[in-house]
Structure 1
């Protein structure tokens, strides 16, 4: 046995080569012999590197590998067709509300998860805001409603809860373009029996369908006048030069619907980025400044009560001002006080310590007192503006500022409730919802008609009226201006012809324009011979 094995030499396999650009692993790795001279628990190479934490975007807004479902693509294309059919540059009407409804349906109705109640609520508010265009024509009011409607639409899709989630959710469509493009690209080409349908074939099928509809639709329209009238009423008249614009509208609206659907399906959790409350500051550091501010508010409210009890005699005797000058001078300062008070409340809620019962009781008492006094300050500002308007008349800016002040008063009530309960997760959404409801209430008031009615009533009492300002109001004011005497009526309605058309399509239908059109048709204004009075 020994001789037989003596002639053989043991062969040792050489170590496996290490790929270029890679360092050898630790000595405990498989395939590497343990180094007898190593020291420490991990050897000369040290501890293994810590895993790299995921980026905040991957943690808060994960990108899934699935593509857009076929239902989303169909819904987005439908929203694009609605947008290309009902949007016009010169007039808004009932069509824009239908467009927003189509976009929201594409984003929420195809959502795989259950739609939350707050999403449904903001969706209803968004449709209502855009629906204002079907009953009002004032450009300034429609601009505010459209901006607020866009905010409500985004909140309906993103469903943020905290202020951080709402703010980042409002900006999320700006960062969703590339994400939506990838998500749509993975689902735009459907699989048919395990093979992808070529894009060229899909375009050919679409073109053939459109061509067949155009050819046979034109033949049917030429064969039957009733069918031609039906098609003409449903399909907007488009010049050949406008086809490019309509195609752009289709692409833009469809892209917006896809972005909304992507945000709804791959919902970001921006609330996770909201800063956490720390231990808070000791009671003396926030209670003393807040108590001093409450005392100052109490002194101011006391002065307002004295002025209210004594009337304008106290104002004239003390400040040397007329009551109208007193009202105009103080309103804007009180509006700034209201906004700054909200900032103070937000800071105190953030830094106040709530560990002991005394801390919580002090916070409740001081915040409750400050919010109550702030509501009284809001009431004083509203009273001042009302007195000023009673002396000088109503304008759009004054009405808008009054509506803003009413909303701030509601916000203080909500903040006071949240401060007493020391729970305010519901507060951000409720604050925005009350702002939207305030704007809808202003639209329901019909500001231009309200201004015209008060001006006509004031003319009946005092004989003074600013016809030049009234002639610049929208068609919403036409029924009220129709009550003026013939000479003033002709001047006030001189520009009404430019606000209404002889006829309009169904998707631009508007209640105020319809009423103004009827007034102009039945009692057209004569030649204006007055400038203002």
Structure 2
């Protein structure tokens, strides 16, 4: 009986393996190999440029072709994610800010995983459910690895079927013969080249005439290609064959948000905090309208006052946002009267926090007037605008319980990050620092900081070559000379970047000497 069961089990396994060889699976395998080849062509030993959006488009082509039976294209968040993904990938061809290059390298794949899960209906949780994070983690950590073995099983069954059927084509046999002959040819050619210098000369000419092959590079590219292809295959396979039970579902079902905070305790805390914030807000109004100047200690300037309090205000703002979201999601709403009072207190907290943001904005503006613009200061302004937008939708949530707060947070975050990418922060910093320097003859300018801005700022930096300060001109010349030498170095079409191209055109007009 046991022998019979084992035999039946083997038959079922053989049948399952035979079923794996169907056109849908072959398409997935071919698509994964195509992506690996394109990856090597675009990125091996090359920097990111126009290659990044090209690869993204190829990836989408493979996804659409291999998942065409599974994709549901509707005018929803999943489909609309195409816009930020394409626009963010284009930044590698349009701008040269290194901060966004690093951030986008991590963010774009996350957005792609989120979108492919949504449009193929492979998500267990809605995109505005906090537990959707487990879908993302499953996509990043599991889907790319769990089905690697299926690729080898598929290849094995394809080769066995060819052998068993005896229908292997002549071309297939020729290719197999060439592959087997490569190691032998390499050994023979190497020995003959050592034995005869004339033969060695002609072999070198032939090698450079057709293709300059570096064996080490070829091996590395093969390893990269195999790695990329099996990762891509596993992910595409996981999208096509949806499983009923998976890691995201198992973990997510164990986590549920429950309203457990007592409303009386929450109300007491809110009243206490709001009393302090109201007093602080009154003082801030005096500061914002200028009367605070008479209250400053002797010798303390606006800029010093601004610098000292700015980061503390930002930290308090973040604490307040955390308090608000926690109260909204965790506080019991049994008594309608107490619930309405809590809403009023939450609204007061939002209003006070907005005043703090406004105060922090003016503090940072004063500090920039005194010391100029930097990445940190500009990004801080952007962050404050972002927090202000979150506070607005949080206030809506306070009075409308059926309002999806996390949905609004996600949409605002995507739009804000996309806008920041296209704001061209390097050009803004250079333009405003130079304007500040030109308008006030007593001001200095940090030429060393300008030299380390990206090529997006070159069009403004060259204006300092006309400065009357010889030291400023000298420092800028040194920086631009080095920048020009880097731009004239050999590059590939895959690394084309519009910002670098424009900077090179501008710098080619100047002769910085030896």
Common fold by TM > 0.5: yes
Contact 1:393/1:455 (CA < 8 Å) preserved in 2?
yes
Q: Distance in 2 between matches of 1:460 and 1:484?
A: 9
Q: Does the alignment pair 1:196 with 2:155?
A: no
1:287 partnered with 2:267 = yes
Maintained 8 Å contact 1:96/1:131 = yes
Report what 2:280 is aligned to.
300
Structure 1 residue matching 2:100: 3-state secondary structure? helix
Question: What is the total number of aligned residue pairs between the two structures?
Answer: 439
Match of 1:92?
Answer: 48
Find the aligned partners of 1:513 and 1:388 in 2 and give their Cα distance. Answer: 32
Aligned to 1:101: 57
Greater Rg by CA = 1
Question: Which residue number corresponds to residue 410 of structure 1?
Answer: 389
1:110 to 58, 63, 66: 66
Structure 2 residue matching 1:179: 3-state secondary structure: coil
Per the alignment, do residues 395 and 364 of structure 1 end up closer, same or farther by CA in structure 2, a change over 3 Å counting? same
Structure 1 CA distance, aligned partners of 2:234 and 2:452? 39
What is the distance in 1 between the residues matched to 2:357 and 2:340?
Answer: 26
Contact 1:137–1:475 under 8 Å retained in 2: yes
The CA deviation at 1:444 is 1.5
Unaligned runs of 5+ in 2: 3-18, 119-126, 180-209
Alpha carbons of structure 1 residues 127 and 246: separation in structure 2 relative to 1, 3 Å: farther
Please tell me whether the aligned partners of residues 94 and 131 of structure 1 are also in contact (alpha carbons under 8 angstroms).
yes
Show the counterpart of 1:261.
236
CA contact (8 A) 1:394 1:451 kept: yes
What residue is the counterpart of 2:27 in the other structure? 71
Alpha-carbon displacement from aligned partner over 1:102-142 (angstroms, at most 9, x marks no partner): 33443465331525622223343223222211111121221
Task: Give the Cα–Cα distance (whole angstroms) in 2 for the partners of residues 207 and 103 of structure 1.
Answer: 31
Residues in 2 aligned to 1:303 and 1:398: alpha-carbon distance in whole angstroms: 24
For 2:173 and 2:129, locate their aligned partners in 1 and report how far apart those are by CA, in whole Å. 45
Tell me how far 1:153 sits from its aligned partner: 2.1
Distance 1:356 1:261 in 2: 51
- Residue 361 (structure 2) aligned to one of 382, 386, 390: 382
Report SS of the residue matched to 1:522. coil
Q: Structure 2 vs 1, CA of residues 76 and 313 (structure 1 numbering), >3 Å: closer, same or farther?
A: same
Cα distance in 1 for residues equivalent to 2:60 and 2:420: 24
Cα RMSD, aligned residues only: 3.6
Q: Which has the higher contact order (CA 8 A, sep 6+)?
A: 2
Counterparts of 1:198 and 1:384 in 2: how far apart (Å)? Answer: 77
Q: Distance in 1 between matches of 2:293 and 2:106?
A: 44
TM-score by length of 1: 0.72
Q: Which runs of 5+ in 1 are unaligned?
A: 1-18, 20-64, 213-234, 528-533
1:327 to 303, 306, 311: 306
TM-score (norm 2): 0.75
Cα distance in 1 for residues equivalent to 2:36 and 2:423: 33
How far apart are 1:478 and its partner, in Å?
Answer: 0.9
The answer to whether structure 1 residue 509 and structure 2 residue 496 are counterparts is yes
